[in-house]
Structure formats: C-alpha cells, structure tokens
Amino acid sequence: MSRWRTVTLGVVLVLAGVASVDALQHAVGKELTPARPLMIALSVAAIGASLAAIVRFALAWRRGSPPGLTGALARALFYALTLAVTFQFVLLQPCKASWTHMAGGLGLGAFAGLAAFGGSVAARWPRAARVADVALMNACLIALGSETALRIAALFSRSPYLTQADARPHELIERYRLKPGTLHYGFPVNRDGYVDEEPGRRRRKHLVVCVGDSFSTGVVPHAYHYTTVAERALGDCEIYNLGVPSIGLPEYAWLVAEQAMPMLPDAIVIGLYIGNDVHPGQSGVLRYLFDRDNLLLYQVPHRLARVARGRAVDNAPVTEGPLPVEELPRRFPWLEDPLQEPPSHTREAFLEIETRYARTAGQRADLRGVRHYMDAIRTAAGRTPVVVLLIPTEAQVEDVLWAEVVARAGALDRDAPQQRVMELLSSRGFTALNLAPVLRGVAPLEDGRRHVYHRHDTHWNARGNRVAGDLLAVELRALLQRR
C-alpha cells in the first residue's frame, strides 16, 4: 500500500509538471486568452511549483524515504482541482477545451506547490492549517453538493430558473415561452405563447415566419416591433413571430423544422444576435461540466437577481387589459422619447455585459456550432428562402460605448464577428442583412448618442426596431417579388 501511494504521488507530480507546461503554451499561444498576463504568470508559477515538488520527491526517493499520497495530500488535490474549476467558471468563459487544459494545469500546479511546501507551512502554523483544512473542505462540499442537488432538481422541474443551456431544444422553448393570455407591453400573448395575432389561415397574400430570441419576442409593444413595422410597410405580407426569450441556435433550428415549415411560409427570417448567438464555446461533455451557462449554482441566483431588477424597472407595467395603440405612448413615454427611459441595469452591470459579449464575439475561434445549426435550418427550410438578420451589440453601434468596452477588453475588431458570420452564411446560400452599419447611420439625438437600444439594456427600443423593420421590409419585398 505504501509503495502504491508513493507511485501515485510521483505520477501526479509528473502530470502536474506536464499540465502546467501545457497551460503556459495555451496562455502564450495565438488564441486570445482572457487576462493573458495573469494566465502567463500563474502558468509560470505552476511550472515552478511542479519542478520544486518533483525535485523534492526525487531527493526523498534517493534518501530511501519517498513520500506517499497521504490523506492530507489527497485533500489538497481535491481543493486544488475544485479551485481550478472555480477559476474556469469565473474567468475562462465560454468553456473551450484549451481553457479547460489551462485551468487543469493551474490546478495541478497548485497541488504541486502544496505537496512541496504545504508540510512545512502546516508544521509551522498547525492551528491555522487545521482551520484552513476544515474551511476548504466544507466550502468545496457545500458547493459541489449544492450544484449536484440543483442539477437533480432540474431533471424533475420545469422552472426556467433551473434550465441549463444544454437542455433539449423543445424543453428550453417550453420553459421560456411566454404564458398564453398574459400581456406583453399591453399586447396579449397568443395561445401558442408567442407575441402575435392568433395563428390561423393566411390573412394576406404572403406569409413570412420570424424565428429568434428576446429580440424576436420584442422588448417593445407589438405595434412597435420590427416585424410589425415591416408588415405595415409591405402591406400584402403577414410576418408571424416565433420569438422565445433566452433561446439560441439549437432552438431556432427546432422551431424552423417543427413550427415554421408546417405553416408553409414564403420565407423565413432568423434573428441572429452577435452578442450571445455567435460564440466559440465548446460543445459536449466539457460544456456540460464547465460552461457557466450550465452552472446552476451561478445561474439560479443570477436569474433571480435579474428578475428582481426587472421588477424594479417600470418599463412594462401591468395593465388590466390589452392597450389600444393610441394609448401606448402615454403609458410608455420612452417609445417616442428614448431620453425619458429609466435604465434596465446599472451602468457597471451593463458595461460588464457588453464587454463580455465583445470578448466572446471577438475570439478567433471556428464557427462550427453556427455552421452546424445553420445547416440544419437550411435542410429543414428546403427551397424556402431564409433571411438572417445579423443583430449587433450596442457597443458595435454606439461609438462612446465601444471606446469604453475597448478600454476594458483591449484591442478588438469591431466588425470582425459579422464579417466571419456573413462569409459562412453566404457560402451556404443564406441572405444575410448586416444591421450594424445601418444602425450606425441613425442620426444622433441631442446628447450625441443614437439611442436605438433601451437605456443600459441589450435590446432595441422603438427607434431601433423601426430601423430594423424598414430594412427587413426592403429585403422581403425584393425577395417575394422573385417568387
């Protein structure tokens, strides 16, 4: 048993050395890494700790008294790996295989440091070491136990608070779809959970179905939404809105195949938000385990806090019944004057969101996920034309905000995400509408900003929806005339 423990410790220390070198290679590689100087410094420290531990192990072996993997060292390995996972959840997001390697290398390097110097520290300060041991064990067990309990609860609950990003598309749609009959900015949600007229036979010559997330659901009254703006401009075309908040490309593909195509549309519109629909995240087991979108211990409080903030903002007050169109500007003054709108988030929270979106979209990673789901949409749509609206983040539209984001995130190419996605879409027969330059062309208001998004919010206001709707109408008119 003693020999087994000795061999095990030696193997782990060698793995720590290899993993810490691998972490350094990823940190200095061509791929953009969050907080790169910090990653390089930690990787170098991990390599140093691993070398020190290996040297001490080799010297002890040579003296004939090699150490083994004791209970204290096993706990230290547990703490170090838990710390590495926490580090990835906090900083190295979205989950990518290379960043998981980096976090693992740093964790094993931390263990090597404890193996090399932990015994000496514990001997010098035994009481502090015991307190730290108990505190770390309780913290790790509470965190792991809570996350496990939440994931088990998610298997049996339909609550959107317990939804993970890797849930099956129809499950996510069912959880996030709006409740039929409720009022969304004074407009009743239809029986299928969408913000539009009740579905039925065609009321106009043409039918277009729009699929997307909260941009398609709309954060404005239905009469001001971009699909309604385009519908009014076209006259003989009905645009039915299949918008569900908080979904993404897997759900778009499901909605196209299962709900849009059975309606026999003349065209399909996909609202693709650069902020969170296009990202270089990992898929599969790594994403399920290490992506923050699947970490319920983070997501549940975050969602509760977001709901609490949303309730504090009086952008969409409860109404007794459907509001007539002429009543909307009085009830929601910001529809006509964006400068009257209260903020949805604090300035700091909003800057964090925009900075995260800019970093994520700016990664020079492949777009395999986008390619896979857009191919699925292309297959489901068959010969039906598909128009993709490339929706920019507000930082890509407002110059002052972009400067603030760059100051936080470092040098980024403002238009690179759209350029890469447009190249991919054009190679697969999609029509792509890049809204970024169009929204930048909107005349600024008196404060020098364009105000096409809600204040300190990531969604279009009435002004932004009007611009998007006008552009969509032009494209659909030309497309439908060719059919």
Distance, CA of 96 to chain centre: 13
- Pair of tokens at residue 238: 């009905």
* 3-state class (DSSP) for residue 239: strand
Q: Where are the domains positioned within the chain?
A: 2-156, 164-280+313-481
Most confident of the following: 190-204, 240-254, 302-316: 240-254
What Å distances lie between residue 66 and 27, 59, 60, 108, 226, CA to CA?
Answer: 33, 8, 5, 20, 71
- Give the whole-angstrom CA distance, residue 278 versus residue 402: 19
- Give the whole-angstrom CA distance, residue 78 versus residue 85: 11
Per-residue pLDDT, averaged over 176-188, amounts to: 92
Burial of 391 (0-12, 13-18, 19+ CB in 10 A): buried
- Give the whole-angstrom CA distance, residue 214 versus residue 178: 11
**Helices 416-427/368-381 angle, 10° precision:** 40
Residue with the bigger pLDDT between 125 and 292: it is: 125
State the pLDDT at residue 281: 52
Per-residue pLDDT, averaged over 425-452, amounts to: 95
Q: Is the pLDDT of residue 425 over 90?
A: yes
- Give the whole-angstrom CA distance, residue 188 versus residue 169: 25
State the pLDDT at residue 166: 63
329 prior amide bond cis, ω within 30: no
- Pair of tokens at residue 190: 């239809």
- Give the whole-angstrom CA distance, residue 381 versus residue 265: 9
State the pLDDT at residue 310: 44
Structure pTM? Answer: 0.70
- Average pLDDT of every residue of the chain: 88
State the pLDDT at residue 468: 98
- Give the whole-angstrom CA distance, residue 461 versus residue 315: 11
Q: Structurally, what CATH architecture does the domain formed by 164-280+313-481 represent? A: 3-Layer(aba) Sandwich (3.40)
DSSP H or E segment with residue 434: strand 431-434
- Pair of tokens at residue 475: 């494209």
Q: Is the pLDDT of residue 159 over 50?
A: yes
